[in-house]
Structure formats: C-alpha cells, structure tokens
Amino acid sequence: MAAVKFTLNGKPQSVDAVPTMPLLWVLRDTLGMTGTKFGCGMSLCGACTVHIDGQPVRSCVTPISAVAGRKITTIEGLSPDRSHPIQAAWIEEDVPQCGYCQSGQIMTAAALLAKTSNPTDADIDEAMRNNICRCGTYDDIRRALHRAAEIQRAGGAR
C-alpha cells in the first residue's frame, strides 16, 4: 500500500491502495464514485472510460500507480449541472436506454469533441466503435454528437 496523489475532478485526491489496483475500482469501491462503470475488465467495452490529462482512458486497465500527479475527470466531474455540450445534446436527443454504458460513451464523445470540433460520421465511427452499447443507441449517439458539435460551436451550454 502506498499513497497515490492525483487531481480528481479538479480537486486534490490521495488514496492508499495496492499499486496494481485499477483506477476503476479505486473510483468505485474506495472513493464511492460509481458513475464510472465496470463492463469487461479488459479494455474491450469502454464503459469505464475517464479522462486522464484530457485523453480518454480505460480505467479498468489503468493501475492506480500510473495516475500519480495526473488530472482525472470522471462523468461526475464533466460538468456540475449536465451542461457540457455532450450532456446537453444527450438530454436533447434522449439517448440513453438502460444507460449503463452511457458514462463511457459520454466521456469518449467529450474527448472526441474536444479534439475535433465538427466530427464527421467517419470520425464518430472511429472514436466510438470501441464503446459497446447492448441497447443499440448508436444512431441516437451519432445524432447527439452532431448536435453537441452545434451546441459547442454556438457557444451554448458550457
């Protein structure tokens, strides 16, 4: 056990954990932040996606020791009030069904939008194809991502 210090949703955080413990389980079980989901444990489904220094990362295969000193954003920290353009568009387009994969979809989509302000369908396919949704909300995600780009361009939401 060793203390690992990092920034979590803008605030300093320190946890004592086995260095190999994945960030996912530190977030969920140690810190009680359950918005980040467990889906596969092997970086195959995207449900556990968080941002580390702005990049989308699979927290299920990221040992806690690897995040020392880094800035982590989870779904809980994306915005204080669901005002991030992705969240606003997700609400507008009523994307989620069961909703379990959506934290990961939203974090992946937010990273895409940060990098590519007007993503094409091909950009969306490439960025989003490793986020699995068993309810099949893909069409709605695509529509909402285009909408989020509009909201962002218009300076709306956040």
Partner 1 sequence: MSALTLDRRNFLRSGAGAIGGLLIGCYLPERRKLLADTPAAANKLSAWILVGNDDTVTFFIHKAEMGQGTVTSLSMLLAEELECDWSKIRTEFPGVDPAYGPFQGVVGSQSIRSSYISLRQAGASARVMLIAAAAQKWGVQPSACRAEKSTVVNTATNARLTYGNLAEAAAKLPVPGNVPLKDPAQFEIVGKPRKRLDTPGKVDGSTRFGIDVRLPNMLYAVVERCPVFGGTVASFDDTKTKTTPGVKHAVKISNGVAVIADSTWAAMEGRRKLTVQWDEGAVAAHSTPDITKSFADAAAAGAPPLRHVGDAAGALASSAKKLDAVYQTPYLAHAPMEPLNCTAWVRPDGAEVWVSTQMQTLARQIAAQKSGLAPEKVQVHTEYMGGGFGRRGGVDYIGEAVEVAKSVDVPVKVTWSREDDMRHDNYRPASYCRFSGGLDAEGWPVAWTASIACPAFAGANTSTEGVRDNPYAIANFAVDYHDVNPGVPVSYWRSVGYSQNCFFAESFLDEMAHAGGKDPLEVRRKFLAKNPRLLAALELAAEKAEWGKPLPAGHGRGVSVVNNVGSNTVQIAEVSVAKGKVKVHRVVCAVDCGAVVNPAGVAQQMASGIAFGLSALKSGVTIRNGRVEQGNFNQYDVVRMDEMPKVEVHIVPSQAAPGGIGEASTPGAAPAVCNAIFAATGKRIRQLPIRAEDLA
Largest CA distance in the chain: 48
CB of 23 to partner 1, least distance (A): 10
Question: Hey, how many other C-beta atoms are within 10 angstroms of the C-beta on 151?
Answer: 21
How far apart CA 53 and CA 85 sit, in angstroms, is 19
How far apart CA 112 and CA 117 sit, in angstroms, is 8
| Residue 100 sits in the site that holds partner 1 (CB under 8 A) | yes
Beta-carbon contacts of 114 under 8 Å, excluding residues fewer than 6 positions away, are 54
| Residue 103 sits in the site that holds partner 1 (CB under 8 A) | yes
| Residue 132 sits in the site that holds partner 1 (CB under 8 A) | yes
Question: Hey, how many other C-beta atoms are within 10 angstroms of the C-beta on 55?
Answer: 11
Number of residues that bind partner 1 (CB under 8 A): 60
**CA Rg value for the chain:** 15
| Residue 106 sits in the site that holds partner 1 (CB under 8 A) | yes
CB of 118 to partner 1, least distance (A): 18
Out of 2, 5, 10, 30, point to the residue binding partner 1 (CB under 8 A): 30
Out of 61, 66, 114, 140, point to the residue binding partner 1 (CB under 8 A): 140
How far apart CA 47 and CA 57 sit, in angstroms, is 10
Selected range binding partner 1 among 65-73, 77-85, 110-118, 148-156, rule: CB under 8 A: 77-85
Out of 102, 119, 147, 149, point to the residue binding partner 1 (CB under 8 A): 102
| Residue 3 sits in the site that holds partner 1 (CB under 8 A) | no
How far apart CA 82 and CA 105 sit, in angstroms, is 15
| Residues pairing with 16 in the sheet | 3
Chain residues binding partner 1 by CB under 8 A are 1, 18, 21-22, 25, 28-30, 32-42, 44-45, 47, 74-76, 78-79, 82, 87, 90-91, 94-103, 106, 124-126, 128-142
